[in-house]
Structure 1
Amino acid sequence: MLFLGLLIIFGFYFFGQTNSSTQVITWQQLEEKYLQKGQVESIEIINKKIANVYLKDSVNKADEKDTGIFDQGLNNPDYQYTLGSVETFEDKVQKAEAEYNLSPVNVSYVYRTNWLENLLPWLLPIFLIVLFFYFMRKRAQQSMGGGNNIFSIGKSKAKIYDETNKPSVRFKDIAGLDEAKTEVQEVVHYLRDTRKYEAVGAKIPKGMLLVGPPGTGKTMMAKAVAGEANVPFLSMSGSDFVEMFVGVGASRVRNLFKQAKEKAPCIIFIDEIDAIGRSRGKAKSMQSNDEQENTLNQLLQALDGFETNSGVIVMAATNRRDVLDKALLRPGRFDREIYLDLPNLEERKAIFKVHLDTINVKNDIEVNILAAQTAGFAGANIANICNEAALMAARNERDYVINSSCELKG
């Protein structure tokens, strides 16, 4: 658009039909001041619309205006006269020549084409078509995941956490799951002090799979690792690899591990890995599943292939371990499986204490009773119970949460 605007401006200056630096006069002025005195050298009629008047060199041109910067070096006329009719103008000139006994004035006819004016009707539709396809391309990029370039569809969508944007969750914020925290903390300790482990000859597991029912804290455990680790943390969902275009999932896997190697040592976390890690060779009765299998094959090669991933630790979470491919679970890829089970009585007490500390409660609330009444509840269920109690307290115009059963008895 900027280039087109500049083109129009320069076309106006260089190829305009009129010259702004030339004074326009009337026929009476032309006849009385110059024509009857025989001072007109020639007249040039442009496109039968404008007459450029050139005076003889001997004429005093003191009243001539200064030429503009774009007119320097050009053979500009001394005056211009706007024609109404060419035939009428010719008759006036011939009558003046006969009346004043003048030698014939040289009258020439010139037809000038303004190429910019003729080109604009062609340029405007082309410009509108280009503009239309530009906006269509931008909308297609947004629907395919954004990016400044259409080829960025093959790049990973991993969210990177580093020193500047760490999650606020820490291991101390996770109640219960002591065994799982111990195993996960081992990874953090290794990344903080690798020499201690290397001195013994120990090798940190390449991959850890967090398995457990929904709501047991798998994603929260990953957030705690991101908050505690002093290394970059790349987080991505399994569904982010899935795309309707062939080869995009495998390309994103390659790009993800390429980013991780550049930032090593670092941690990769893939949530809901069952979206791409399902067993191969199944569920092909209705439609082909080649794209999912290609993505899985690329992930298997990236986890433990010919190329080494030194300093890259992969964490994944799922509640569907039974559907995962066996090649994904073998040692060397996900060496360690950490099972996050439903909390027991003591763990439920600890979870209640963590969530009740964030809301105003009355002293008569017994955490032991609440933990005993919520057998089989996951951590997410307990968090929801505490939040619902706070909402009910606000709905009933109270500033704190109370034990409703005790209030009914009283």
Structure 2
Amino acid sequence: MNEVHSPKKPLIFYYMVAMLLVMLFNFIAMPWLSQYQIQEVDYNTFVSMTEKGEIGRAEIQEADNRILFTSKDEKTIYKTAMISTDSQLVQRLLDAGVSTSGEEIEQTSLLMNILSWVAPILIFIALGQFMSRKLMQKMGGGNSMMFNMGKTNAKVYVKSAEGIRFDDVAGEDEAKENLTEIVNYLHDPSKYQEIGASMPKGVLLVGPPGTGKTMLAKAVAGEANVPFFSMSGSEFVEMFVGMGASKVRDLFKQAKEKAPCIVFIDEIDAIGKKRDGQIGGNDEREQTLNQLLTEMDGFEGNTGVIILAATNRPESLDPALTRPGRFDRRVPVELPDLKGREEILKVHAKKIKVAEDVDFNKVARMASGASGAELANIVNEAALRAVRDGRKFATQADLEESIEVVIAGYQKKNAIMTDHEKRIVAYHEIGHALVAAKQTNSAPVQKITIVPRTSGALGYTMQVDEGNHVLMSKEEIENKIATFTGGRAAEEVAFGSVTTGASNDIEQATKLARAMITRYGMSDDFDMVALETVTNQYLGGDASLVCSAETQTKVDQQVVALVKREHQKALDILRENRTKLDELANFLYEKETITGEEFMGILNG
């Protein structure tokens, strides 16, 4: 049973409680305490003291039928019952010189006066101590918040038998080789020092998100027998100027005390951006960066401390940070190739139960372009699908379906399309597949489906490369553009009209055509002139034109002409194979999902 936690109370609640305690003390506790400071005497004693001149002041309280009076020095208060038959009371007091001016006699002593001031202060001090203790517990420290400012909160790792090791990281052999050398240096520096080699001061891991940069750093922590400090770049940035620089100093002070050791800074671009010198910039971030530059390679060396850093925005880093002497090595952690994807799948498949006949090479080919994190997600989705279907292990079909889930989303079971829309989608997808199959340089068709997906796709055609494909020729790109236009072309050939289903195809075809002209130098008019620059290559690769308005107009004209030419080629292919187009579209309409073997069987039959 899950434990139910009571909700945390706001600060105003505790202040209201404190105010209530003060009010209760003043209105209940004080009167109750004060009654013990008044001495009660009989009436005869009152008369005797009056005659002897031992009374200082007196107060007749007829409503309460009592008399309050004080001693001559007014340090003691007495109380007695009033006798109504004593008609000489007032005169007797006047003859004795007792003041009966009507001033109210204070019923509290000096002790009570002190308590009335001190008690509320003590209550609020106790409340303050309670709140500060709660705040420190929330911050996770034993010291106060002010004393923690400027102190690093880096996590320290040591060698662990259960941690991530290099064997747990697949698909990045070059990166592991670089990092293994650093671990070996820390274990046995003498063999490097014999030849005069010095320890690299910094290693910068760069690559797209999800490729395993942080995992590689954790693997170093698992392999090394030295302390490993881990911290995120955003943790250095503070509200107060100078606190970030103080954290850097404190981090390196701790690291030097435990040298040799490794310091890992994740997402270093948070503090390492270029200093542009603009007025109104973040002085705190620049001071933090300056302190980091000094610690890495300043007048005082950091012998025995190696810096590992990870980022997916290397172009935004300050040149002073990335120069040799600070970050001596840049290790690219790119998307894995076919072999790397297969190894990554096998590593993650060890965590689940899989069938013995699973072909990881085929799954790796279908997952072209996937990162390590996406491949891990694919394996997990396969295991979840096996559980949903009541199986004890994941099969080949589970892995293949999980690729489609990661790429296009889950199947929409309740999606309702009319028969006419379903037939249009069937022709659209067969148009893509048929144009791809009739072009020699296009990847073979793996699967065609018209089952709608949660991503919004009404269907898709999956093409799989047979092996690693690093370079693309001009003809291959043109064939790919023609394949993108094949869906719209099939609608035109079969129905004589067009729909909105080709919006993504149009976007992809236009993007490829523009890249051919502006970035790849595949235009006769512009030759090998770069008309576009790419920023954030690991975060989507946003591009911007760097040419005149006249040149942009020519670029637009060539892009339109190129896409129109490939569109016409797709139309010609489909018209020449109209019979096969109809046969395949009708077969897909009936089956909803067909394999590449079924498609090629009908096409070549």
- TM-score of the superposition, structure 2-length normalised? 0.50
Match of 1:160 among 149, 156, 175: 156
1:187 aligns with 2:187: no
Alpha-carbon distance between aligned partners in 2 of 1:240 and 1:167, rounded to the nearest angstrom: 27
Q: Deviations over 1:92-143 (max 9, x none)?
A: xxxxxxxxxxxxxxxxxxx997433212221233334445555666677688
1:385 aligns with 2:378: yes
Cα 1:316–1:145 change in 2 (3 A) is farther
**How far apart are 1:369 and its partner, in Å?**
0.4
- Opposite residue 376 of structure 1, the aligned amino acid is G
- Tell me the residue number matched to 1:398: 391
Cα 1:311–1:351 change in 2 (3 A) is same
Cα 1:134–1:25 change in 2 (3 A) is closer
Alpha-carbon distance between aligned partners in 2 of 1:303 and 1:84, rounded to the nearest angstrom: 91
Cα 1:290–1:145 change in 2 (3 A) is farther
- Tell me the residue number matched to 1:68: none
1:280 aligns with 2:275: yes
Cα 1:118–1:397 change in 2 (3 A) is same
Cα 1:399–1:25 change in 2 (3 A) is farther
1:173 aligns with 2:205: no
Alpha-carbon distance between aligned partners in 1 of 2:188 and 2:213, rounded to the nearest angstrom: 25
- Tell me the residue number matched to 2:257: 262
Q: Which moved more, 1:314-323 or 1:259-268?
A: 259-268
Match of 1:240 among 235, 244, 250: 235
**How far apart are 1:306 and its partner, in Å?**
1.1
- SS state of the match for residue 314, structure 1? strand
- Tell me the residue number matched to 2:315: 322
Give matches, 1:25-44, under 5 Å: none
- Opposite residue 369 of structure 1, the aligned amino acid is K
Give matches, 1:88-107, under 5 Å: none
- Tell me the residue number matched to 1:349: 342
- Tell me the residue number matched to 1:151: 147
Alpha-carbon distance between aligned partners in 1 of 2:243 and 2:339, rounded to the nearest angstrom: 46
Alpha-carbon distance between aligned partners in 2 of 1:233 and 1:207, rounded to the nearest angstrom: 14
Q: Which moved more, 1:363-372 or 1:129-138?
A: 129-138
- SS state of the match for residue 343, structure 2? helix
- Tell me the residue number matched to 2:96: none
- Opposite residue 339 of structure 1, the aligned amino acid is P
- SS state of the match for residue 154, structure 1? coil
- SS state of the match for residue 160, structure 1? strand
Alpha-carbon distance between aligned partners in 2 of 1:247 and 1:139, rounded to the nearest angstrom: 27
**How far apart are 1:403 and its partner, in Å?**
2.2
Alpha-carbon distance between aligned partners in 2 of 1:306 and 1:330, rounded to the nearest angstrom: 16
- Tell me the residue number matched to 1:294: 287
- Tell me the residue number matched to 2:332: 339
Alpha-carbon distance between aligned partners in 2 of 1:162 and 1:356, rounded to the nearest angstrom: 27
From the two aligned structures, give the one with the greater helix fraction: 2
1:219 aligns with 2:240: no
Cα 1:346–1:397 change in 2 (3 A) is same
**How far apart are 1:200 and its partner, in Å?**
2.1
Q: Is the 8 A contact 1:144 1:153 kept in 2?
A: no
Cα 1:288–1:141 change in 2 (3 A) is farther
- Opposite residue 335 of structure 1, the aligned amino acid is D
Structure ranking higher on relative contact order (CA contacts 8 Å, 6+ apart): 1
**How far apart are 1:82 and its partner, in Å?**
8.8
Aligned length: 360
Q: Is the 8 A contact 1:265 1:312 kept in 2?
A: yes
- SS state of the match for residue 210, structure 1? strand
Alpha-carbon distance between aligned partners in 2 of 1:167 and 1:317, rounded to the nearest angstrom: 23
Cα 1:161–1:50 change in 2 (3 A) is farther
Q: Is the 8 A contact 1:145 1:153 kept in 2?
A: no
- Opposite residue 321 of structure 2, the aligned amino acid is L
- Tell me the residue number matched to 2:301: 308
- Tell me the residue number matched to 1:123: 118
- SS state of the match for residue 369, structure 1? helix
- Opposite residue 299 of structure 1, the aligned amino acid is L
Q: Deviations over 1:141-169 (max 9, x none)?
A: 68888653413121112111125x67610
Unaligned residue ranges in structure 2 (runs of 5+): 1-32, 46-53, 60-66, 70-78, 90-104, 402-592, 596-605
Cα 1:315–1:83 change in 2 (3 A) is farther
- Tell me the residue number matched to 1:72: none
Alpha-carbon distance between aligned partners in 2 of 1:136 and 1:153, rounded to the nearest angstrom: 19
Q: Which moved more, 1:239-248 or 1:335-344?
A: 239-248
- Tell me the residue number matched to 1:63: none
Q: Deviations over 1:332-356 (max 9, x none)?
A: 1001111111111111111111111
Q: Deviations over 1:351-405 (max 9, x none)?
A: 1111111111112221110111111111111101000111111122221111228
Alpha-carbon distance between aligned partners in 2 of 1:358 and 1:329, rounded to the nearest angstrom: 38
Q: Is the 8 A contact 1:158 1:234 kept in 2?
A: yes
Alpha-carbon distance between aligned partners in 2 of 1:83 and 1:277, rounded to the nearest angstrom: 86
Alpha-carbon distance between aligned partners in 2 of 1:84 and 1:387, rounded to the nearest angstrom: 93
Q: Is the 8 A contact 2:233 2:267 kept in 1?
A: yes
% of aligned pairs identical? 52
Cα 1:373–1:160 change in 2 (3 A) is same
Q: Is the 8 A contact 2:34 2:112 kept in 1?
A: no
Q: Is the 8 A contact 1:166 1:226 kept in 2?
A: no
